Chains A and B, each alone.
Chain A
């Protein structure tokens, strides 16, 4: 045997062994319980691979969610903060203004009393907000309009998305999902992949993700049975620094309206812990007890201490949950009663522990597959794949006899390599991914047919077998490369533009195309060379035609 051939055979066998080692954990994987069934010695040997090919959510079952973050709300919130900040510094600096207004999503107008104040005010803004607010030539002489700097707005947007992502991360962790994946997509999208969510948990998860969990404690000024009655008492308009919020019962029905003081207040940002307590509330049902951090406890004890005898409203997500009378100074603990079911209390505790969302979010896309369907699809996919592959192999062997056997070996090797590469890249196998593999089988067959037809042609013009095979492979090389590279172009674009499962298709197709070129051109040729090297005299080579 030639040295060159020995190296090639060794290389292919080596790759085969590595591929088998990589695939073994997947074959032995218990996909229902998501754990390895490999024997102990395998797991103890550190260098052996233990991870199985990852099944996509469409096969394994689970939830795929795309949520969008209302980043404009973040910008708006910042703009209002700037407005409040300006109002108070102008007061301090004795700059007289008529009013400050937020005009649109990124504009703010300051109306000064006279030109003297205008000068002082604009200078102040120029010196202290030079990177934040830019003066425009809109507005009138005494009331210039400022626009929020683009880079600054972009920072607020990015920050909001980042914060939402962190919050969602801790909510999902608190809820307990095995191996979740939470990724940012573009500027304001977050993709959550939650494998193995049970049917009954789906609505809970949706609820936990979506709720803002904004918790506030505010002092009650007065309340009434209806909004109209309350407004009438106030003379038709809402005084400044006050908020009008409804109280709702367990079923979300409005039972009363409250007029609440915006200051002093304390928010859920100061919580360190929240736990559900089942039974024992005054109203019956479950409740949530919470604990403040040091800052929170200080504020809370001051507020409760100074306002004994008043009502303190517990406001969750802009709805009054209850408004008990402050009987005594309270330090670091408290509880939220609302006649919750145990599950509601558990979920509320989860979102309070994980923290509030800084801005609203919206679910843009949901794809949830139950485990039954996944099993169904894997079974059908496997059956279809095996039948397709087997029929192709039978055809090749019948049509090209020995040549077909060689092609089938190369084809099976290619399939092994695809799974091995999937395992090593930790790529995800999706349903379209299985279709991609099936297509690879087609490409592989094509490569072989191109080569065989070429070899037959060379045999017909009278070449001996060995040189016919040499020439057949050599002449097919660029045809096969060109054909596969163009497919690769389509696959790469699909990967760039596609989402979720479709990407799985692009991944298997790409791996498969590379494998096709390798197995079709290198592996099959090596098998032929080996055949010639092993047979002492030129053995008759049968590729299905008689010359």
Chain B
């Protein structure tokens, strides 16, 4: 089977100015998405208590909400889910209850929000009506640290990749690759913000994975461009880059599609953090593939153009 026949010749870099504009617009929108609607920080980053309960019998979410709100714990979020894939759980219903951090005074007395909530619910639904599936508590100090650590992880990996690619290729390739990676990470984060899905530690891991995947993609293309340059030793960079992208196109598309297929299964069937992780990855994959084809190499070309222009300007000056 062969979907993309040999000898395709698409001028990928020719219209680079349009793709740059599109990407810049997307980046701008993504940055804006951090202001509006803003990221939906989970308790990993915001701090607070999260309680996941499974009721054996179906229970109205309104009733649970009213009971929890009567405790005056500050802002309360409640979501309901179909209880697990397990057969015995089919009748039941899961609730995810999230509250902000308790006021300092209560905290000092060692009172935990989750204890207050489950006591209240036991009071009205009776002992044994539900089981506690999960309790997460993140203190404000830890939340701040985790945010900083996440940002650091992203920054360090970009720098690490910059050095490695710079060492293996030329510096302008490294810069092109890292700019493209930054582009992928920020746009994926932007889309994730627009979907208002929750940010957790796993999402930072997801962004790092997108970076890893996309650099993989970009390097395959760069590698081919370099090889073509070595082999032919003539022609202009623009044509060579186009040739490189075209020759690897089949691989780029196929890898993208198979990975996409795997991710869709993970997003549909994987529970918990795996689902959000996979959703983020799906967008990251699409954007990463796009940037490997349209952005990364075009950036190298852009840098070459700038260099050429400077050179000719200098030559003009010398002539004068």
Chain A contact residues, CB within 8 Å of chain B:
66, 68, 199, 202-203, 206, 210, 362-370, 372-373, 375-377, 379-381, 383-385, 387-389, 391-392, 395-396, 398-400, 431-432, 434-435, 438-439, 441-443, 445-446, 449-450, 453, 456-457, 460, 475, 478-479, 482-487, 489-494, 497-499, 501-502, 505-506, 509, 544-545
Contacts and interface: CB of A to CB of B under 8 A. Distances in A.
Given A482-B223, A502-B201, 20 more contacts: A365-B139, A368-B136, A370-B133, A377-B274, A379-B85, A395-B258, A435-B278, A441-B262, A442-B258, A442-B262, A446-B259, A456-B2, A483-B220, A486-B164, A486-B215, A489-B157, A489-B160, A497-B149, A497-B156, A501-B202
Main secondary structure, interface of B, reads: helix
A432 B277 contact: yes
Interface stretch (B63-71, B186-194, B248-256): B248-256
Contact of A384 (B227, B247, B265): B265
B110 interface: yes
Main secondary structure, interface of A, reads: helix
B75 interface: no
* Most B Cβ at <10 Å: residue of A68, A367, A501, A502: A502
A376 B85 contact: yes
A264 B272 CA distance: 57
B142 A66 contact: yes
A453 B142 CA distance: 48
Give the 6 A-B CB pairs with smallest separation, nearest first: A384-B269, A388-B262, A380-B271, A483-B216, A373-B133, A384-B270
A482 B219 contact: yes
Interface in B1-46: 1-2, 6
A372 B53 CA distance: 11
A228 B78 CA distance: 45
9 contacts: A366-B135, A377-B272, A380-B85, A384-B274, A391-B262, A483-B216, A490-B157, A494-B153, A545-B2
B271 A376 contact: yes
A432 B204 CA distance: 11
A117 to B, nearest CB: 43
Contact of A383 (B85, B212, B258): B85
B220 A442 contact: no
B201 A498 contact: yes
Contacts, number: 230
Contacts of B204: 498, 502
A492 B157 CA distance: 9
Nearest to B83: A376
A373 B85 CA distance: 10
Nearest to A66: B142
Contacts of A438: 262, 266
A544 B250 CA distance: 14
Contact of A395 (B84, B112, B150, B261): B261
Interface string B218-254: 0110011001000000000000000000011011001
Contacts of A493: 153, 156-157, 160, 208
Contact of A202 (B135, B141, B157, B274): B135
B216 A487 contact: yes
Interface in B146-193: 146, 149-150, 152-153, 156-157, 160-161, 164-165, 168
A203 B115 CA distance: 8
B212 A486 contact: yes
A482 B168 contact: yes
Given A491-B212, A497-B153, A363 B262 contact: no
A489 B262 CA distance: 23
A326 B1 CA distance: 95
Nearest to B169: A482
